[in-house]
């Protein structure tokens, strides 16, 4: 039994490495393809670092760019970016597993562990079924979103471009990537031309939220009749997602209500709609309908918090995830009440889960603070602009105050690293260390208990 346990742990470690490696391979291949003359409108490559930055941003479904997607890349280049967004959103492992099921090849333990690592699941139960369910509903949601967007983009851009724009933005929104093709009139304007269009904004918001809920949550909702009720995790995610969206909307609306450069000139209904859009895009996406650089510092600070929280586990979004924040909040409440067990829905959470949530959060916060200070000092940026940029990269969001194209090469490499860390998962990189430490010390050596002064 002990040998089997060590084998599973070793295979899980290898699965994590393969998932991380698959993302790196997609990024490198994408960078090479974007470097080809056929990918750029000018016929010449914008440079390897720019191509690598774009490929990382697309594969890690972030949306930060050094060059405008519409004006820099040809249809071939845009197609490469869209393919990377889709692979990055679903995960290369998902595509391979689906292919294996289509050719009726047996899915072994190693491949199931890959799926578990890719979706951040807790066990192997229903892993392959989740892959089929994920791909099926991904296509349904993206095509439905594209059809809705066609009602606005086809009249505005013509049949061919309108269909392509609709498909591109639907996939980009669902995968929480934030890439857009609307920069021909004015580069880097994102969805600002459609800030008064409820159809476009509500469709994009719906795709962003659905993509950020997580594949497990969809499956749980879809099979609710079979199970009889939603799982505790799904309920927690739905409550957290709704609460964060409403809270973010209220704060953005209050802070930016009279700002003449953002919501100020809009009528009330438009202010509410754009504040709602800003709240949704803060946490996961990267599209924008107002100038991010013109927002007040309080709104930028809120944005940093929401971007670092991100979406939910097993989704296309980044961040520390809503479940992690919920565990931290419940743990805080329990400690304030006297340090009893964390109880929710008649169930108690283990100390190990609380420790994992704290470890992940502290790791992300440390990287965020160090990255923000480095970016601010190295490129002489205002700290809030630097913090917003770092949170956007680490949370794989893609929003920017406008400083991204002007960053130095060193800071561009820093953002590439942060985007990769944010998508693959910081906790995944510590699995090898944690596993070895538990194997060598867990349960064998016990030390005397001591106390240190707190507060």
Residue 445 in any domain: the answer is no
DSSP 238-289: HHHHHHHHHHHHHHHHHHHTT-TTTTTTS-HHHHHHHHHHHHHHHHH----S
Handedness of CA 105, 110, 114, 115 (dihedral sign): positive
pLDDT for 204: 96
Helix boundaries (H) for 158-179: 159-174
Residue 447 in any domain: the answer is no
Q: Judge whether residue 22 has pLDDT over 90.
A: no
Lookup result for tokens 């519409």: 70
Q: What is the pLDDT of residues 363-420, one digit of tens each?
A: 899 999 999 999 999 999 999 999 999 999 999 999 999 999 999 999 999 999 999 9
**Tokens (6 digits) for 98:** 């689906």
Residue 450 in any domain: the answer is no
> From CA 151, how far away is CA 199, in angstroms rounded?
9
What band does 437 get if pLDDT is binned at 50, 70 and 90?
very low
> Is this model's pTM higher than 0.85 or not?
yes
Residue 453 in any domain: the answer is no
What band does 233 get if pLDDT is binned at 50, 70 and 90?
confident
Instruction: Report the DSSP beta bridge partners of residue 340.
Output: none
Residue 366 in any domain: the answer is yes
pLDDT for 292: 94
Q: How many residues does the chain have?
A: 455
Q: What is the pLDDT of residues 238-271, one digit of tens each?
A: 999 999 999 999 999 999 999 999 999 999 999 9
The whole-number average pLDDT for the span 44-65 is: 94
The whole-number average pLDDT for the span 182-206 is: 92
Instruction: Report the DSSP beta bridge partners of residue 152.
Output: none
What whole-number percentage of the chain has pLDDT above 70? 80
Residue 444 in any domain: the answer is no
Number of domains the chain contains: 1
Residue 449 in any domain: the answer is no
Residue range of the domain that includes 285? 2-436
Q: What is the pLDDT of residues 75-89, one digit of tens each?
A: 999 999 999 998 888
Q: Which residues contact 101 (CB under 8 A, 6 or more apart)?
A: 107, 128, 131, 132
pLDDT for 1: 44
- As a whole number, the mean pLDDT across the chain is 84
pLDDT for 195: 93
Instruction: Report the DSSP beta bridge partners of residue 347.
Output: 344
Instruction: Report the DSSP beta bridge partners of residue 355.
Output: none
The whole-number average pLDDT for the span 28-47 is: 95
Residue 331 in any domain: the answer is yes
What whole-number percentage of the chain has pLDDT above 90? 55
Q: What is the pLDDT of residues 196-211, one digit of tens each?
A: 999 999 999 999 999 8
pLDDT for 336: 83
Q: What is the pLDDT of residues 134-176, one digit of tens each?
A: 788 888 999 999 999 999 999 999 999 999 999 999 999 999 9
DSSP 377-432: HHTT--HHHHHHHHHHHHTT----SS-GGG--HHHHHHHHHHHHHHHH-HHHHTHH
Contacts 24+ apart (CB under 8 A), 270-276: 270/195, 270/196, 273/198, 273/201, 274/195, 274/201, 275/249, 276/205, 276/245, 276/249
């Amino acid at each position: 039994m002990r040998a089997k346990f060590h084998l599973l742990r070793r295979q899980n470690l290898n699965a994590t490495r393969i998932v991380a490696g698959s993302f790196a391979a997609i990024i490198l291949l994408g960078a090479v393809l974007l470097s080809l003359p056929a990918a750029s409108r000018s016929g010449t490559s914008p440079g390897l670092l720019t191509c690598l930055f774009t490929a990382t941003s697309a594969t890690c479904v972030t949306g930060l760019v050094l060059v405008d997607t519409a004006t820099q890349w040809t249809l071939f280049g845009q197609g490469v970016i869209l393919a990377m967004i889709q692979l990055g959103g679903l995960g290369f492992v998902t595509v391979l597993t689906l292919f294996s099921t289509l050719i009726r090849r047996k899915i072994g333990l190693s491949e199931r562990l890959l799926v578990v690592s890719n979706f951040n699941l807790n066990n192997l139960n229903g892993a392959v079924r989740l892959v089929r369910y994920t791909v099926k509903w991904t296509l349904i949601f993206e095509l439905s979103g594209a059809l809705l967007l066609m009602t606005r983009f086809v009249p505005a851009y013509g049949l061919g471009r309108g269909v392509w724009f609709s498909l591109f933005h639907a996939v980009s929104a669902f995968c929480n990537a934030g890439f857009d093709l609307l920069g021909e009139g004015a580069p880097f304007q994102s969805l600002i031309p459609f800030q008064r269009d409820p159809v476009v904004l509500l469709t994009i918001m719906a795709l962003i939220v659905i993509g950020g809920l997580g594949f497990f949550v969809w499956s749980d909702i879809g099979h609710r009749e079979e199970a009889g009720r939603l799982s505790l995790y799904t309920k927690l995610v739905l409550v957290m997602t709704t609460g964060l969206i409403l809270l973010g909307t209220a704060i953005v609306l209050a802070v930016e209500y009279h700002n003449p450069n953002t919501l100020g000139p809009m009528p009330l209904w438009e202010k509410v709609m754009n504040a709602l859009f800003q709240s949704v895009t803060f946490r996961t996406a990267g599209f924008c309908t107002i100038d991010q650089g013109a927002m007040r510092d309080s709104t930028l600070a809120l944005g940093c918090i929401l971007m670092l929280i991100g979406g939910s586990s097993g989704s296309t979004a980044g961040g520390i995830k809503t479940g992690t924040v919920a565990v931290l909040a419940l743990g805080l409440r329990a400690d304030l009440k006297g340090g009893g067990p964390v109880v929710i829905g008649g169930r108690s959470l283990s100390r190990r889960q609380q420790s994992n949530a704290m470890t992940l959060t502290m790791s992300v916060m440390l990287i965020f603070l160090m990255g923000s200070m480095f970016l601010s000092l190295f490129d002489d940026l205002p700290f809030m602009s630097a913090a917003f940029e770092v949170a956007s990269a680490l949370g794989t969001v893609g929003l920017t105050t406008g400083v991204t194209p002007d960053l130095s090469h060193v800071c561009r490499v820093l953002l590439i690293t942060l985007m990769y860390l944010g998508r693959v998962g910081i906790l995944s990189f510590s699995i090898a260390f944690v596993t070895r430490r538990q194997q060598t010390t867990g349960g064998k050596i016990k030390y005397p208990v001591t106390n240190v002064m707190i507060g």
